[in-house]
């Protein structure tokens, strides 16, 4: 039985070579796009988790060159202490806070722009303001309270809600992620139709063989097994191509983006393996179930 099944699979794949190749290509593209969407989901979640553990509010202090008219020169130690006392008095809203002087801020700035030394060289240490970095217990509910308390204080130049800025970036990534997933789902539907047509054509081309098998009392499973395995094999071949493409997406696209950021929020190899395994399951189930449903209609015994 094993040799017969293998022989029938080879005959089916060879007779419908063009459609089989087209099926493999469509499955590969749909699975690679689906996997890319899943990788984007993991990347966005990783980035969001990283930033949610960081600072939500930056209270920038006046410098000698501040454009804010409420600043009258650089902040004084007394003004910095008053701001610190105000923040400490909001302990029911503030989870943690620390002071970052100009030297520390400039060092961090150079680290952030280490890949753009030409730009970093145009900024002087005195151009980077000192700041109080504040992490809130409940950012969405407590921001206005803390911001109102420190805004307008002597020595305060600007209060920035970093989560609001980052939310625009998250929205952009979410939109790109959703677009990739939608295109992938459209291609999955196309793959389903192509699998169905390929299996139906294969069954039609071998209708004489299946008719003889019916007459000699072959079981449904025995008749359908070669066609089912044809679809599964095509799905596996498409998945292999998709897996190679996903490795390229991570290595050439997502990993290369890390050079523009100074944060360790890159995807791990385990994330890639999880996505590749998931796409394999999707590809095999997609082709297997579609083949089974098609065969129930066109190979009834």
pLDDT score for 87: 92
DSSP states along 170-213: HHHHHHHHHHHHHHHHHHHHHHHHHHHHHHHHHHHHTHHHHHHH
Query: How far is the C-alpha of 184 from the C-alpha of 249, rounded, in Å?
Result: 15
The per-residue pLDDT for range 50-97, each reduced to its tens digit, is: 666 666 788 999 988 888 888 888 899 999 999 999 999 999 999 889
Query: How far is the C-alpha of 93 from the C-alpha of 243, rounded, in Å?
Result: 47
Query: How far is the C-alpha of 158 from the C-alpha of 148, rounded, in Å?
Result: 12
Q: Which domains does the chain have, with CATH numbers?
A: 2-51+167-298 (no CATH), 55-162 (3.30.70.3040)
Q: Match 């700035």 to its residue by tokens.
A: 109
Residues of the chain with pLDDT under 70: 1-17, 19, 50-55, 165-166, 202-224, 227, 253-266, 295-301
pLDDT score for 84: 93
- State the DSSP code for 67: -
pLDDT score for 42: 80
Among 214, 186, 224, smallest CA distance to 37 is for 186
Burial class for 96, CB neighbours closer than 10 Å (0-12, 13-18, 19+)? exposed
The per-residue pLDDT for range 237-276, each reduced to its tens digit, is: 888 988 998 888 877 766 666 555 545 556 778 888 888 9
Rounded to two decimals, the pTM is: 0.60
């Amino acid at each position: 039985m094993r040799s017969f099944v293998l022989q029938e699979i080879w005959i089916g794949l060879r007779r419908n070579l063009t459609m089989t190749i087209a099926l493999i290509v469509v499955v590969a593209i749909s699975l690679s796009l689906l996997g890319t969407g899943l990788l984007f989901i993991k990347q966005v979640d990783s980035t969001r988790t990283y930033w949610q553990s960081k600072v939500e509010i930056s209270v920038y202090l006046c410098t000698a060159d501040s454009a804010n008219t409420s600043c009258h020169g650089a902040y004084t130690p007394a003004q910095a202490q008053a701001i610190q006392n105000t923040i400490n008095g909001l302990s029911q809203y503030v989870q943690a806070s620390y002071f970052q002087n100009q030297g520390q801020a400039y060092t961090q700035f150079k680290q952030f722009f280490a890949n753009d030394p030409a730009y970093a060289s145009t900024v002087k240490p005195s151009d980077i303001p000192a700041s109080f970095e504040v992490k809130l217990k409940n950012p969405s509910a407590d921001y206005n309270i803390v911001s109102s308390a420190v805004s307008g204080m002597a020595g305060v130049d600007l209060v920035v809600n970093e989560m609001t800025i980052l939310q625009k970036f998250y929205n952009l990534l979410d939109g790109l992620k959703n677009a990739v997933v939608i295109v992938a789902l459209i291609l999955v539907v196309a793959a389903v139709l192509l699998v169905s047509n390929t299996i139906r054509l294969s069954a039609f081309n071998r209708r004489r063989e299946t008719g003889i098998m019916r007459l000699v009392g072959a079981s449904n499973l025995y008749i359908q097994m070669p066609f089912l395995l044809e679809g599964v094999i095509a799905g596996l071949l498409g998945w292999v191509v998709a897996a190679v493409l996903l490795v390229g997406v991570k290595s050439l696209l997502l990993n290369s983006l890390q050079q523009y950021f100074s944060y360790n929020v890159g995807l791990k190899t385990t994330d890639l393996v999880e996505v590749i395994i998931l796409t394999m399951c999707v590809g095999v189930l997609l082709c297997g179930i579609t083949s089974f449903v098609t065969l129930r209609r066109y190979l009834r015994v």
